[in-house]
Structure 1
Amino acid sequence: MKNSYLLLAAIFLILSCNSKDKEASQLLTISTPMDSILEHPEMDELPRDEKIKLLDSLTQILANGSNDTVSRSNIIQVANHYFYLNEIDKYHDVSKQLVAMGDEANDTLDMARGYQYIGDYFTDRSIPDSSYFYFTKAEKLLAETDDRENFGRVKLKKGYLIYKINDLASSEAIAIQALKIAHEVKDLTLEYECYNFLSSVLTAQNKYDEAIQYNEKALKTLDEFTDDPQYFTLLKSQTYNSIGTVFMSKKEFKIAADHFKKGLEMPDLLTIHPAYYAYIWDNLIYCREKMGDKNVLGDYKNCLKIRDSTGDLAGIVTSKIKLANYYLSKKDTVLALESIREARKQAEEIKSVGDVNESLQVLAKADVKNSPIYFEKYVTLTDENLKKEREQRDKFARIEYETDEILSEKKIVESEKDRISLQRWMILGFSVLLVLIIILWYMIQSQRNKNKELRYIQQQQEANEEIYELMLDQQQKLEEGKQLEKKRISQELHDGIMGKLTGIRLNLFVLSKKRDDATIDHCLQHIAEIQNVEKEIRTISHDLSKNFFSDVVNFIIIVKNLFASIENHSDIHFELKVDEKIDWEIVNSNIKMQIYRILQESIHNIQKHANATEVFISMAKFDNDLKIEIKDNGTGFDIAEKKQGIGLKNIQDRLEQIGSTLTINSTIGKGTVIHLIFPI
């Protein structure tokens, strides 16, 4: 039976070869074993389509053949051929066949190999949770065997997946475990891969010196690679590029450029791997640009041509982003926009979140008019990516847990088949009940927290409304006082001064008729009375002057009361400095209310986040503007990384209502300064 399958395979090979390949096909006789067919040198010389037909036929033969060690070994070879031919779906199908055959034969190693291959398939398809699941299953099976090489490789593959979701600490720990295994089994290839990966992880953590140490270890390991010159060329150029990337991250562009040049000087790299050659060259061009080389445009374009010719979509996006930044540096926004828009479109097509984010940043610089739109999209995409990373970490954690559960259940099935059904349902029921309890508890706690937050917001709103009403009431009282004062002054002028002046005028009118001495003496007494009227007018003017700044006193008292109420229950000390040139009477009441509310919100943020002990507030008048500065000695924050909270948004909304501006300056460890400008 087995010989007939081998015969069929050999006949298929002979028939499938065209006339050009007859000489090669004649090397394979009907007595050729299947593993010899797969390993025959002429196999690599067959046209791609003919090779795929042969592999399809062999797969069918193996599926209908006996399930022995040789057959499963042939399945592994067929899978590898499919992988190198980029027939990923067929690679996946054969890998599943290998798992089924290994399970049937109770061969843990072949099952683990099949799971590892399926994990590679989902990695190629960018489905990380499925990839992680199958790598974990392979890892659990390999842990029970002596195959330490593949155990270390599977661990390292899991480390790559964890690295992609920015869990750097976990990926570093896994890489160290894989490296220990590589040392244990003296696997130079695995050892090199671990060193190279650790360098990337440490660079991402800004641990540049340690990253370079691992790169140097990788170079030392490569010295023992002598069997495959092409493989040695690719790996050594990769390591030089990795070292250059570390120095580029440190902004030491001269040293970085020297290492990129070493990578490009590796023999036949452009022929062996043109896409990787373009990758290193692109890094070198960037370093030259940063060092002031103005003749980089042609090189950027030539690098892009190489990437176009190899179909390297990710590299094409990178080149176009670099070109856009170059055009921006030369103030050529037309070409910059053209290049970055193409980069963004292609980045979205290949689902490269990092490149989409970078293209949005460049677009915001190039298209100033629409800069807020691009910035908002950048923030939204960043938040979504962070959320996906958190969700992916949770999925990986669940996969670890579920994989352990599956393997545990399988052992129970093997040892206690009669009781497994009941136990499984009990475990499932308990798990569901526990999950329901946890969900219920979480929902209750979440609802309680929401209720507390709502009550706090309501209380704050009520307090704000009360303060607003007090300010309005205070303003009303001031207006009433002004009206009363106007009425009093009117009465004083009408009843007092006007009456006296009328009397004086009538008495002096007699001078128009009589000019004798007696009449003049009599009129002189009334002229003296005019001096008394002058004193009375001066008194009224003095009273008015004393009340002129009543608004100032009342508003500043309200502000000081706010500071005093906070000092009573906190360790914060407030210092207030008010410019005497500010005429609070002409300041609109709405602006005064907004100033009060903004001060209140700013102090609330300082209490909540700044850990400050001193707060200095100054109010000064410059031309037609009122400038307010709020300065604290708190911890400060990074403005570029700090997300905009509700408090800051409320302040900005209030400022927009009255046409005012806000500027924030903050340094970590040195406090925060807020500058506010209000039009009077």
Structure 2
Amino acid sequence: MSSFAQDLQQLIGVLKKELKSKPNLERTTQIYSDLGWNYMDVSLDSALVYEEKALLLAHKTKKHQLITQCYSNLGGIYLRKENFKKSEENYRKAIQIRTVNKDFEGVAKAKINIGNVFASKQDYVPATRYFIEAIQYFEGKNDTIASLTKGNLGLIFFEMKNYEKAIKYLQESTDFLQKNDMKQGLCHTYLSLGDVYLDKKDTLKALNSYKISLEHCKSCQDNLGISTLNQRIGAVHSAKGNSENAKKYYQISEKLLKELNSEIEQSNVLLSKSEDFIQQKRYREAYELLLKVKKIHQQYESDRYLTETYKKLTLVCLYQNMKDSSAFYFNAYNHLKDEKLKSTVLEQTAELETKYQTAEKEKQLLQKEAEAKKKTTTIIILSLLAFFIAIVGFLIYRQQRLKNVQQKQEFELQTAIAQIENQNKLHEQRLAISRDLHDNIGAQLTFIISSVENLKFGFPSMEMSIKNHLTKISDFTKTTIVELRDTIWAMNANEFTFDDLSSRIYNFIEKAQSAKENTAFKFTVDDRLKNYKFSSLEGINLYRTIQEAVNNAIKYADANAISIQVQPNKSGITVEITDNGKGFDLDGIDLGNGIVNMQKRIEEIGGVFQIHSDLGKGTQITISLNK
């Protein structure tokens, strides 16, 4: 890092020395632009000053290459500063100039930059469109840029919680970068892979990816990447309860960010530290840190991180019994989300309206051109002999046929676009519903648990029967939160593999084991079923049925061994849940709601549900699902 800083300072010193020699206007402009670009890793404020000077001089040179370079650099600086509005404005100006000068490669690169701006604003639909357009242009022409852009696309799917596609695109990008030994790109793709695994709660894979990323970032001396990785690794250690290790990594990150002079990035370290304080129940210190973070993000109008700050402030105030403050920040959180949603809808509506008006103008121009051709043809026909009348008739017939084909193609294209837009809207609505369930109802249930615990500890002389009743309410609410998370998990994916479902079942069995320490649990899945795919409905119904069967064995069977085995069969899969409990006589009892509900769930997804039980010999439930 020290060597990198020295190299940068040396390069900056050389540029400043050359500037004193008073070179011509074009060279002076280039020097200022290079200074702005190099200062991005030293001081963002200085970078902005030099790049704005370069832009003023570039307009005087009237060289479109220099002008677009300055606009692109300014877009990058403002993106680093989280000023998304100005970043997008500068990138769009660069696109406009490059389009006029038919610099299509430059346009494609600028589209990647604008895609990054939209991705940073969590506006994923236009971000995905720009990235795909850039990938289509560069594939076969510049595979390096295409590969890096696939990494960006992977991050979009990660933000939308589509982990399978996120890992797919990031891994494709990583494989290409490893093959070509591109350490700078590997620094970022492994960082992104680590973020995906961390969000999936796979901390071992996350830490491994972060460590590989850190090695590559150090080798190419990427201070911002090194800072971010130290922040991420610190967060992992914090989540594991290792506060001392977390503190060491946060200190390294803060030191680097002070050198880079980026308040936004420094505030993100504070945000991570606040999570560490929350884990340690040091709520007052977390509250003071979050107030500092809130002030910075309000100053820079960084809505993305301000939303996260409001959410944490809501919880911290709740833990400190600051009910009014908690309600205030909760309302601020919801208001900011609603405003962002309205802004996105208005922006997309305006974009669609512009496209519609452009299409109408083009259609009118085509009609005018067709009318002009028709008049010219008529004049020629009148001036020619009858011999040419047959030829003109044939031409008119062919023109009409082509026009019909064109109209049919336009109709099919409009229908396809409408279907894609409807699918995007449905997906966005599903994500919005799952976020609301998690953020609103989840927060309210957490508040109920906190209130019940406060009542129990606030009134030590309370009757035992009331305390027991409050404990039941608290346990029921915690169970409801777990079931809510399972439902949100199922809603956030169109389909998932048995590997995804297995992780949920393992978590459930782990909780059951802690409750029934003397009971032996066994869960086995045939390796051939690892990539077996379910729809969200099939997955949640199968999971709920297995969960109900295990709960029944624990509650009623007095079993000390419970087994879940999943095997393939000729037409699909077979799931067997077996216990060695006391069993029951199927003909001698009425089936309860639990067993009836299990049967309905399996039949709803086209499966077969069977139950066999003998007194004193245990119970076996068999579920068969067809492909």
- TM-score scaled to structure 2, two decimals? 0.48
Q: Name the structure, 1 or 2, with higher relative contact order (CA <8 Å, separation 6+).
A: 2
If you compute each CA radius of gyration, which structure gives the higher value, 1 or 2? 1
- TM-score scaled to structure 1, two decimals? 0.45
